[in-house]
């Protein structure tokens, strides 16, 4: 008997669970992560990608152009390459030179336009581009991996996975600028029917083409090295081509973004929570094909984590501690499949078990459940096209504002303003680093403006003064008396329509872990191999396991790369 009905109305997890830092510690990419949805769209709409030019010298210096034909639009990815001394390479945003600089543009690439791009793209922030240039990016070669892989290929062998390690990439990107910066095309100017009209799709396409460039460059350099010794180089084979991604390092600058954009945070959470809720509410008979797929994906996840045993993960849970938890879930599921006769909401039971095991097991299992449903894909894309943020309403009564504080911000009451550890840090924009930073409050830099990231403190201060004000008065009247509360009052109204719009955490707390928020964001983008380098920043990989351009062109791109396999068959 096959049963697949939703016996109960799907119920979303409450915000206090979804938005807790501890839950975000286990975030994993899903089928609705931006990298996956971009390539799924490319495959479904039959985009074509061609390398229209590659002018490199023996070291890989030169330029290249990739042309994308996408649903009637012509896009070009144009890149300029040089080789820096290792001492000049840095992943910091304040760098002023890179091995690779590139742009994603729309329209014809005329000689005049290319000349302007050649002059400005290598300058990045210091340059200016035309309004049909969509994205600017830059990257550096990996000192460890690029030369090693090109040496292997030049010698006629594939790389050794034990040398490459758990984070496979040839180049590391440091930024994907868009949306009007430095003269770039405004996102609002991209038509709704344009293939890049979904937020972050332009950045994902650019990163994927950068990955394609890195593998073409390493093949070119390998051939040049082999020619010098009279050997014949071998190309990077297909399994390695899929396994290698693009490296990235992400720091504190990402964290204030979700504070400033509760609408984005809410949408990103719904990308996960809606299909998860539907999957968990579904009743299955033991022979249903979905359960066999869950079992297969759990097996893939276990093998993937076993292969990542060398990945530095602290303070996240080590991979050798996660995969045995998944094995428990797999054995539980196999017992149900083999011995049960009655349908039940088996995925809900397993999800509860995973939650008790830990955030990493829960996050991975949730991604597996989400993987089952392809009927949510279009809705997921629509969620990212956000309406205008509502205008602040000063005519709201203080009674209504207090009601919102009581119902939406109960979690903030746990904040103890009398405890100095609850406000140990402050956030500010660093002139030296050109991005947000946090520092100990006791070392506050004179002249620095503190960012409004201290949400619990501001909410509780607003609540305290509002309690003693007339409930019938308007918010405007209250703010005339207490202008310092304007940010908090606007915040409460702004998040009214976004149940998942507020991190349930105190960013200035001594125990706040920025990595939690960063991991959630990066998983939403589609990144994996989370490797913290401190409490404030981590290294990740994007597009590891993803199809190559030739896969998209042939129509054979595989969308199943949630847990990319390691090419152990290519060991030396």
Q: Could you report the per-residue pLDDT of 473-516, keeping only the tens digit for each?
A: 999 999 999 999 999 999 999 999 999 999 999 999 999 999 99
Return the pLDDT at 570.
45
My answer on whether omega of the bond before 315 falls inside 30° of 0, hence cis, is: yes
Q: Please name every residue paired with 542 in a beta bridge, in sequence order, or none if there are none.
A: 246, 527
Return the DSSP state at 496. T
The HSE-up count of residue 15 (CA atoms within 13 Å, CB side) is 21
Is pLDDT above 60 for 357?
yes
* Structure confidence at residue 85 as a pLDDT band (50, 70, 90): confident
Return the pLDDT at 527.
97
Is pLDDT above 90 for 436?
no
Return the pLDDT at 435.
79
**% of the chain with per-residue pLDDT over 70:** 95
Average pLDDT of the chain is 93
The structure tokens listed for 275 are 């299909």
Q: What is the mean pLDDT of residues 176-186?
A: 92
Return the pLDDT at 2.
34
Q: Which of 366, 262, 273 lies closest to 18 in space, CA to CA?
A: 273
Alpha carbon distance 32, 271 (integer Å): 7
**Model confidence over 267-288: pLDDT tens digits?**
999 999 999 999 999 999 999 9
**% of the chain with per-residue pLDDT over 90:** 86
Return the DSSP state at 199. T
Is pLDDT above 50 for 106?
yes
* Structure confidence at residue 143 as a pLDDT band (50, 70, 90): confident
Q: Which of 380, 437, 329 lies closest to 41 in space, CA to CA?
A: 380
Q: What is the mean pLDDT of residues 405-409?
A: 94
Return the pLDDT at 569.
55
Is pLDDT above 60 for 333?
yes
Return the pLDDT at 434.
66
* Structure confidence at residue 6 as a pLDDT band (50, 70, 90): very low
Return the pLDDT at 508.
95
Is pLDDT above 60 for 8?
no
3-state SS of 393-441? Answer: CCCCEHHHHHHHHHHHCHHHHHCCCCCHHHHCEEEEEECCCCEEEEEEH
Strands 100-106 and 73-81: antiparallel
Return the pLDDT at 71.
97
């Amino acid at each position: 008997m096959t049963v697949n009905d939703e016996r109960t109305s799907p119920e979303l997890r409450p915000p206090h669970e979804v938005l807790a830092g501890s839950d975000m510690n286990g975030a994993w990419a899903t089928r609705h992560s931006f990298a996956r949805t971009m390539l799924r769209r490319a495959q479904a709409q039959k985009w074509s990608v061609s390398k229209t030019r590659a002018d490199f010298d023996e070291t890989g210096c030169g330029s290249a152009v990739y042309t994308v034909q996408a649903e009637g639009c012509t896009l070009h990815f144009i890149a300029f390459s040089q080789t820096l001394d290792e001492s000049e390479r840095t992943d910091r945003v304040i760098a002023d030179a890179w091995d690779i600089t590139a742009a994603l543009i729309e329209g014809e690439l005329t000689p005049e336009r290319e000349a302007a791009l050649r002059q400005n793209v290598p300058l990045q922030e210091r340059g200016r581009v035309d309004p049909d240039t969509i994205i600017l990016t830059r990257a550096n070669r990996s000192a460890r991996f690029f030369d090693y892989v090109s040496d292997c290929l030049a010698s006629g062998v594939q790389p050794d996975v034990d040398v490459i390690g758990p984070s496979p990439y040839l180049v590391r990107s440091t930024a994907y600028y868009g949306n009007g910066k430095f003269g770039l095309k405004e996102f609002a100017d991209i038509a709704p029917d344009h293939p890049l009209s979904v937020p972050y799709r332009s950045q994902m396409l650019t990163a994927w083409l950068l990955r394609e460039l890195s593998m073409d460059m390493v093949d070119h350099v390998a051939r040049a090295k082999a020619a010098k010794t009279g050997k014949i180089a071998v190309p990077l084979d297909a399994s390695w081509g899929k396994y290698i991604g693009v490296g990235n390092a992400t720091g504190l600058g990402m964290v204030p973004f979700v504070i400033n954009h509760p609408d984005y945070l809410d949408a990103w959470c719904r990308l996960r929570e809606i299909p998860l809720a539907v999957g968990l509410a579904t009743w299955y008979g033991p022979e249903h094909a979905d359960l066999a797929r869950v079992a297969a994906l759990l097996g893939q996840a276990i093998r993937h984590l076993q292969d990542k045993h060398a990945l530095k993960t602290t303070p996240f849970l080590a991979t050798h501690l996660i995969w045995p938890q998944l094995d428990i879930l797999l054995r539980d599921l196999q017992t149900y499949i083999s011995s049960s006769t009655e349908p039940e909401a088996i995925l809900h039971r397993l999800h509860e078990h995973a939650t008790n095991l830990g955030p990493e097991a829960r996050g991975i299992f949730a991604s597996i459940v989400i993987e089952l449903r392809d009927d949510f894909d279009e809705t997921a894309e629509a969620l990212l096209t956000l309406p205008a943020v509502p205008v602040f309403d000063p005519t709201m009564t203080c009674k209504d504002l207090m009601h919102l504080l009581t119902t939406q911000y109960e979690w903030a009451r746990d904040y103890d303003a009398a405890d100095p550890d609850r406000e140990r840090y402050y956030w500010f924009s660093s002139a030296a680093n050109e991005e947000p930073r946090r520092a100990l409050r006791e070392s506050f830099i004179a002249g620095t403006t503190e960012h409004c990231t201290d949400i619990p403190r501001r909410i509780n201060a607003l609540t305290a003064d509002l309690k003693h004000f007339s409930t019938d008065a308007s918010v405007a009247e209250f703010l005339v008396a207490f202008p310092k509360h304007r940010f908090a009052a606007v915040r409460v109204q702004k998040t009214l329509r976004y149940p998942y719009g507020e991190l349930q955490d105190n960013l200035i707390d001594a125990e706040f872990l920025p990595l939690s928020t960063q991991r959630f964001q990066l998983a939403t983008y589609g990144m994996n191999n989370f490797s913290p380098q401190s409490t404030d920043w981590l290294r990740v990989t994007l597009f590891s396991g993803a199809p190559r351009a030739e896969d998209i062109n042939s129509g054979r791109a595989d969308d199943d790369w949630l847990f990319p396999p390691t090419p152990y068959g290519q060991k030396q």
